[in-house]
Every structure is written in C-alpha cells, then in structure tokens.
Structure 1
C-alpha cells in the first residue's frame, strides 16, 4: 500500500498481483528459482497527493522472487531476511526502490511559486505476518534523493482475501499512513519564501497521520497462468495534510485494471 496520487496505483497494483500469485501457488512451480507475476495495466489517479485532478497512465506490473529470498516488486530490489517463518508466516525484507510520488508545478497552474518535489530513490523495510484471516503488513520507507521529499513514512495495513468459485479472488485492505515532518513539509507545507512567490499563505506541516484508506481488489483467472485484475483505492487525508492549502481535495481515489501472467 504501494503502493498512498502518482505513486498510488503503481505501488498498490504490484501488491494486488503479489496477493494474486501468493494465494495461488501451482504445484509445478515448486523448486523453481524464479517465480512471480508480470503484466501491464491502466491507472487513473490524482495528479499528486491532494490534487482534485486525475491523471491516466500505463503501468507495468512486476512482482518477482528469486529462490524465495530476493525480490523485485513495488518496493524495489531487495532481499528477505526472513521468509514465511513460524506459525504466523513471518517475513522481513529490506530493499532499495524508486518513489514515483512527486508534485511538480507543471502539474497544476495553482502550484506556481512552490518548489518541485521530484520522484526519487528510497530505502525500505517491511514486515508481513498472518493474524487469523488477516495478512498484516508494516512498511517503513525513507526518501534518499535530494530533489525529493527526503522524508519517512510508515504504512500499516491488513488484507482480507476470499476465493469465490475456482477463478475469482476478492480482497480488501484497510490501511493507515504516518509521515514525518520532512515528508509533510515537502508535500503539504508552504515556506515563507514559497508564500511570497505563490498565492498561498505560509503553512507549517508537521509529522502525524497523513491518510487512512482502503484498497479493494478483484482478479479473475482466464487460465491457470493468466488473468485480469481491477483495483480501487480510496483514502482520506488527515491532520496537517488535510488542512494544507495545497490539498485541493481531501478524498483521494484511484482505479487500476490490467492483465497479468504467472510463471
């Protein structure tokens, strides 16, 4: 849950596919070095966090695991220190990836005078484990690009899935996002210098819960290895993010759909 705007659909579409193949492991895949899902989709999501205008784009779907230890997915390139360990199937991973979440003045004329917050690299740690029927996920990521936000976010979610018949899979994942002051200031704050150059008054955005939301997913298997998916994510900005003059719409909704291939 990325995953919460420009990053939202690519981030969480990969999670959608991770859930799809993770819940359907084929017997003939046992022992394979490389396994996972690839595909392509179409997404419509807010131009930036807090935007009231949507952007439509083509998104690649990549979620690969090598020898059950190394991965390439929405979190980037990384490795598992633990993988499906113990009765709760505990997994712990670390990665380096690319954060597509950005806010550019060219996205909206109202942003003129504000500095651009560009996409950039980030480092991430995540933990996953099973609690009853829920797959709980906790992720902490930190931006490391000087032109980006250089902030830290923590995302916690719980996914509930169900199989209907032999082909249809449904899931719902509520999530909550916390961000530190660096992240909040970059995306929701207005410095004195920016206030002088723009139509906004100065605004200090601090750390706290940034948003709460839910992601609904559905996939339909056309064959044992191919299928279609659709994902709808809706979130509500909270706290300083909600009150920011740059947040033109506090309700953020994204939709993605596409085709995937398991191997």
Structure 2
C-alpha cells in the first residue's frame, strides 16, 4: 500500500492520540449525542436546538478501491437536540436517546490519467451525497443508520448502518467501537466499479468489461474517541477499516487496487445552543 507523507503523519498523530486516553478524541460520524461535561449541562432549559459545527482532516483512499491515500478537509455537522412545537423533540437532553440529523458525503473527482491502473476509463466528476441519519444511544451502546442520495459524478442511493459499544472513562471522554456495513444502488456501483465494453477496449483489455449490481458495498469496523477540552469544545478523532465486498470487491478496478480501505480523521468542533420558540 502506498500512503502519502501527509496521510502517514495524520495516521501517526491519530494513533498517538488514541493511546493517550485523556488527551484525544475521535469524531464519530454517527455521534449525535456526546457526553455532557457536568450534570448541569444536561439541562438545556428553554433551549430548542443544540447542534455542533467543526472541521476535521480526513485521510482516505484517492478513489474507491485505490491503494493510494490523500488528506482532505471535511466539515463536522451534528444535531444533538431539536424541539419542534406541536410535534415533539428529537434527541435527549441528557445526551442519550433518539437523534435525527443531516448526513452528507463528498467524493472527489477521479481523473483516470492520474493513475496508470485506470488507463482507459472515463473520468468521473465529484459526487455529492445528501440525506438523513438517525440513531439511538444508550449509556453503553448505540445503533445508527444513514441513507443519502448521490448526484454529480455518480447517481443513486448509498447508505450505511452500524452499532457501537460505548465506554465513558471520565466525564469528558467518550470511546466507541463497533461494526459497520455500507450498501449502494446499482447506478452508484456502476459509476465507481463498472467497466463498459468501450472502456475495456481502451484499457487494452487489461480491465475486463464489468457490470455490477447494487447491494452491500463494504463491511468493516470503526473506532472513535471524543474529548471535551473546554465546555462545549471538543477534539474528535476516528479510525475506520472497510473491506469491499460483493460486486464491489469483484470489480477489475478494485482488483487493480486494494479491497481494503482505511480512513483516519482528526478535528475540532463546538456545540451551540439556541432558543428558537
């Protein structure tokens, strides 16, 4: 596997942060209910909307199925609590319970001329994914899921589900780990893993023609840590391993790259509280 210097540096920083259990934390993409700083922080009073904004640096494969890595900035957006008059509330004021919020992802463009193993394939524009995520968190466990619609370079639906065990060693530190599964529609899979007959010819038949179906895209495991450095300010970090499966794994594109995909992230975020009604 070839990993760029910046990616290696961030991965090393992540490993160091996780080993220093009180100094670092992980941004969990499905972490809508962070641990409160103190019992008094659980009482939002007349607050109707509690959300979190931040920025993270993410190390990820240069394209789906690649064995080369890149580092890019990524926003952190999380909704912890929302009260809607006449409808009800979502999320628990103690940081537990049901949460519903936005889910999004961004995949950069894929320029075949940048990678010798993709010679002959058409270029892909950047893909934008927008949707919803929902989760339910208990004191020591959570389940979550997300569905997004993709447009741009790829069209179709993509999503993931998972579960975590949760440890709270201190009032400020939350650790999570558990399995994940992702899925995608046939249109989405064809964009990233398919090879048309014309593309196969253009590659000199090095990449065989391939038409994948929709279904499970990957299985993996994710771990996260999250530390409240000051009231409502957090250091977030996460690490994830995905193994492409099914029609994604069998793609000639993946066979020329790597079915094992790694992700690392480190960022900072702030919680905001608003009285809307």
TM bucket, shorter chain: 0.7 to 0.9
Tell me the CA shift for residue 217 of structure 1. 0.4
Contact preservation (8 Å) 2:162, 2:178: yes
Q: How many angstroms apart in 2 are the aligned matches of 1:27 and 1:186?
A: 45
Say if 2:58 is the partner of 1:15: no
Given that 1:127 and 1:138 are in contact with CA atoms closer than 8 Å, whether structure 2 keeps it comes out as yes
1:251 aligned to which of 260, 264, 269: 260
TM-aligned CA deviation for residue 220 of structure 1? 1.9
The equivalent residue for 2:18 is none
Q: Deviations over 1:143-197 (max 9, x none)?
A: 2x3x422122231111222211222210113111122211111111101011122
The answer to whether the 8 Å contact 1:82/1:90 transfers is no
Q: 1:50 to 1:34 in 2, by over 3 A?
A: same
> Once the 2 structures are TM-superposed, how far is the Cα of residue 64 of structure 1 from its aligned partner?
4.7
Q: Does 1:153 align with 2:158?
A: yes
Question: Is 1:230 paired with 2:237?
Answer: yes
Q: CA deviation at 1:256?
A: 0.8
Describe the shift of the 1:19–1:110 C-alpha distance in structure 2 as closer, same or farther (beyond 3 A): farther
2-structure distance, mates of 1:257, 1:49: 21
d(CA) in 2 for partners of 1:67, 1:232 = 28
Q: 1:182 aligns with which of 177, 184, 187?
A: 187
Q: Comparing both chains, which one has the higher relative contact order based on Cα–Cα distances under 8 Å and sequence gaps of 6 or more?
A: 2
Structure 2 vs 1, CA of residues 33 and 19 (structure 1 numbering), >3 Å: closer, same or farther?
closer
Determine whether 1:109 maps to 2:116.
Answer: yes
For the residues of structure 2 that align with 1:102 and 1:158, how far apart are their CA atoms? Answer: 30
How large is the Cα RMSD of the aligned pairs? 3.2
Query: Are 2:164 and 1:197 aligned?
Result: no
Structure possessing the higher radius of gyration over alpha carbons: 2
What is the aligned residue count? Answer: 237
Deviation at 1:258, TM superposition (A): 1.9
Matched, 1:260 2:269: yes
Q: TM-score w.r.t. structure 2 length?
A: 0.72
1:164 aligns with 2:178: no
Is the 2:98–2:137 Cα contact (8 Å) retained in structure 1? yes
Residue 29 to residue 243, structure 1, CA distance change in 2 (3 Å): same
- In 1, are the aligned partners of 2:165 and 2:176 still within 8 Å (CA)? yes
Q: Tell me which of 51, 55, 59 is aligned to 2:70.
A: 55
Secondary structure in 1 matching 2:32 = helix
SS in 2 for 1:194: helix
On the 8 A contact 1:36/1:262 being kept in 2, the answer is yes
How far the C-alpha of 1:227 sits from its partner, in A, is 2.8
Query: Where in structure 2 are there 5+ consecutive unaligned residues?
Result: 1-25, 273-277
Instruction: Determine the structure 1 residue equivalent to 2:20.
Output: none
The structural deviation recorded for 1:110 is 2.4
Q: Is the 8 A contact 2:134 2:144 kept in 1?
A: yes
Q: Hey, what's the Cα distance between the residues in 2 that align with 1:96 and 1:175?
A: 16
Q: Given the two structures, how large is their TM-score scaled by the length of structure 1?
A: 0.75
